[in-house]
Amino acid sequence: MFSKILSSATFGIDAYLVEVETHSEKQLPSITIVGLPDSAVKESKERVIAAIKNSGIEFPLRKLTINLAPADIKKEGSSFDLPIAIGILAANSVVNVDSLDDIVILGELSLDGTLRKVKGALPIAVEARQKGIRKIILPIESVKEASIVDGIEVYGFESLNEVIDFLNGDKTAEPIKTDKDSIFAEVNTYQLDFSDVKGQENAKRALEIAAAGGHNILMIGPPGSGKTMLAKRLPTILPPLTFEEALETTKIHSVAGILPKDKALITERPFRSPHHTVSDAALIGGGTFPRPGEVSFAHHGVLFLDELPEFKKNVLEVMRQPLEDYKVTISRSKMSLEFPANFMLAAAMNPCPCGFFTDPNKECTCTTSQIQKYMAKVSGPLLDRIDIHIEVPAVKYNELSSDTKGEKSEEIRKRVVAARKIQLERFKGIKGIYNNADMGTREVRQYCKLDNASSELLKMAMTKLGLSARAYDRILKVSRTIADLENSDKILTHHISEAIQYRSLDRDIWGH
């Protein structure tokens, strides 16, 4: 007897269909799984045997050969448990074979026959629809994310018995649908707000400019000055996610298995803050069977690196590719995977090892060589990709004790959205450029033209403040964003002078 079940697996953040073929014959009882299964798939036979028996079904004492096709791609994970179980039962006439032609089945089985959540339900539903499959059967906990996809019927069940009854026509079930409009109505449910931050008006302004132009930002200041507090509120002023962005972000979280089970879609921009002990594989992605890293989990959101010089040098160096290409390429001998990684980098650091080099109230105990060594931990090529450096001084007591509420995130976000619309219009038709931070040298020359007064001011700043050559394009990009926030077609002198303030690490005071 023979049966064929359609299932699916993920490769990167996309999915591909897998045919689970089962051959059953009268010989000494055994189960063999072929088709490059990993250890989790090989172990599935033990779970399947126990699940079938504990569901009150007699397990066939026959020789069973199970093939996972295509056989040249390595299969991993526990989501093949359910299709293998259904395939065995179909090959032995327990399940109606006629009902299996147009259904993708996946799910992990527990030993008592109940179904557990699987990874990658959303990209699998997208792939099934593209291949013309009409139905998909999943564990009930994975249904929400898959049901966001139009044009496919998604059924959720709690146990193996329920799936068998449904396939045999003994049980009816309604496909589950998720209303996208109601999900997006809940947008901007952040608990944090910029109005919570006392003082730090300069830093707030710098973050608004960073959000408006998509610029990476580095905050330098003593411990307790509010750098982390400010960074956590950065997503609250970024433009809302579009449906396409939300779908792409959700796919990454779904493949990694970190999407909350009560969420069908990620509608808020992600905020990721890995500890400085993070490995390069955890930050960028990798592993024997590559999975996304923190830079991909922050896709369309914010990646916050606190205590930047404390990160290992090799970890910071691997950040250069995603910051430049907005994607991560992971190569292995038999495969090459790409994960999207288009994020805003927000970083924070102390000005010196003790933290009080720029603090007027506390004395710094570090020597000049210690400060230089500390600052040198952040390499020039990484700093090249950070447009804004802002000093965040310690907050004064009268600002801390003041009852005055700062401006709300909602008001700042309106200005950011307006500036982004100007940029989208400006770069319409230019591939890969959506905001000012994306501009290359050619676009900078075209869209950041200066009048004589502005040009003279920039020339004087470069000379007098000892600004490095790399600061030149950064200042032009940031001044273009400041002009957009004011809805100004031209870059004026006050735009340039404000942008110059945001290159503090390029000045000679740091001992460069």
The tens digit of pLDDT for each residue in 211-257 reads 999 999 999 998 888 899 999 999 999 999 888 899 999 999 999 98
Model confidence pLDDT, tens digit, residues 443-473? 999 999 999 999 999 999 888 877 776 788 8
Examine the domain organization and report whether 204 and 163 are in the same domain.
Answer: no
Share of the chain above pLDDT 70, in %: 96
Q: How confident is the model at residue 128 (pLDDT cuts 50, 70, 90)?
A: very high
Cβ-Cβ contacts under 8 Å for 47 (sequence gap 6 or more): 78, 81, 108, 109, 110, 111
Q: How far apart are alpha carbons 486 and 253 in whole angstroms?
A: 37
Model confidence pLDDT, tens digit, residues 279-326? 988 999 887 778 899 999 999 999 999 999 999 988 888 888 898 889
498 lies in some domain: no
Which phi and psi angles does 138 have, rounded to 5°? -140, 165
Q: Which of 18-22, 35-39, 156-160, 508-512 has the lowest mean pLDDT?
A: 508-512
Model confidence pLDDT, tens digit, residues 48-91? 999 999 999 999 999 999 999 998 888 888 899 999 999 999 99
359 lies in some domain: yes
Examine the domain organization and report whether 236 and 366 are in the same domain.
Answer: yes
Q: How far apart are alpha carbons 273 and 217 in whole angstroms?
A: 14
Examine the domain organization and report whether 230 and 365 are in the same domain.
Answer: yes
Q: How far apart are alpha carbons 512 and 492 in whole angstroms?
A: 30
* pLDDT, averaged across the chain: 89
pLDDT at residue 480, as a whole number: 96
Domain boundary among the residues 348, 370, 404 is at: 404
492 lies in some domain: no
Examine the domain organization and report whether 109 and 251 are in the same domain.
Answer: no
CATH assignment of the domain containing 376: 3.40.50.300
86 lies in some domain: yes
| Res 96 pLDDT > 60 | yes
Q: How confident is the model at residue 512 (pLDDT cuts 50, 70, 90)?
A: very low
Give me the domain span that covers residue 316.
Answer: 194-404
Neighbours of 177 (CB within 10 A): 12
Domain boundary among the residues 404, 419, 437 is at: 404
Task: Say which residue, 107 or 260, is predicted with more confidence.
Answer: 107
Model confidence pLDDT, tens digit, residues 401-446? 777 778 999 999 999 999 999 999 999 988 888 899 999 889 999 9
Q: How confident is the model at residue 510 (pLDDT cuts 50, 70, 90)?
A: very low
Beta-strand ranges (E) seen in 97-174 are 103-105, 108-109, 115-116, 135-139, 153-157
Model confidence pLDDT, tens digit, residues 467-508? 776 788 889 999 999 999 999 999 999 999 999 989 877 654
pLDDT at residue 330, as a whole number: 86
**In this structure, are residues 97 and 3 in contact, taking their beta carbons and an 8 Å threshold?**
yes
45 lies in some domain: yes
418 lies in some domain: no
Residue that has been written with the tokens 């090959």 in this structure = 91
Examine the domain organization and report whether 204 and 146 are in the same domain.
Answer: no
CATH assignment of the domain containing 75: 3.30.230.10
Domain boundary among the residues 404, 433, 451 is at: 404
For 302, the 3-state DSSP assignment is strand
Cα distances from 252 to residues 124, 185, 200, 266, in angstroms, run: 12, 22, 35, 10
Task: Say which residue, 289 or 196, is predicted with more confidence.
Answer: 196
Q: How many domains are contained in the chain? A: 2
The angle subtended at Cα 103 by Cα 98 and Cα 106, nearest 5°, is 120
Q: How far apart are alpha carbons 84 and 95 in whole angstroms?
A: 12
108 lies in some domain: yes
38 lies in some domain: yes
Amino acid at 68: L
Q: How confident is the model at residue 511 (pLDDT cuts 50, 70, 90)?
A: very low
In 3D space, the residue among 37, 50, 112 whose CA is nearest the CA of residue 79 turns out to be 37
In 3D space, the residue among 497, 260, 221 whose CA is nearest the CA of residue 355 turns out to be 221
For 51, the 3-state DSSP assignment is helix
Model confidence pLDDT, tens digit, residues 329-362? 888 777 788 899 999 999 999 988 988 887 777 8
Examine the domain organization and report whether 349 and 200 are in the same domain.
Answer: yes
Examine the domain organization and report whether 12 and 131 are in the same domain.
Answer: yes
pLDDT at residue 188, as a whole number: 57
Beta-strand ranges (E) seen in 276-363 are 285-286, 291-292, 302-305, 327-331, 336-340, 344-349
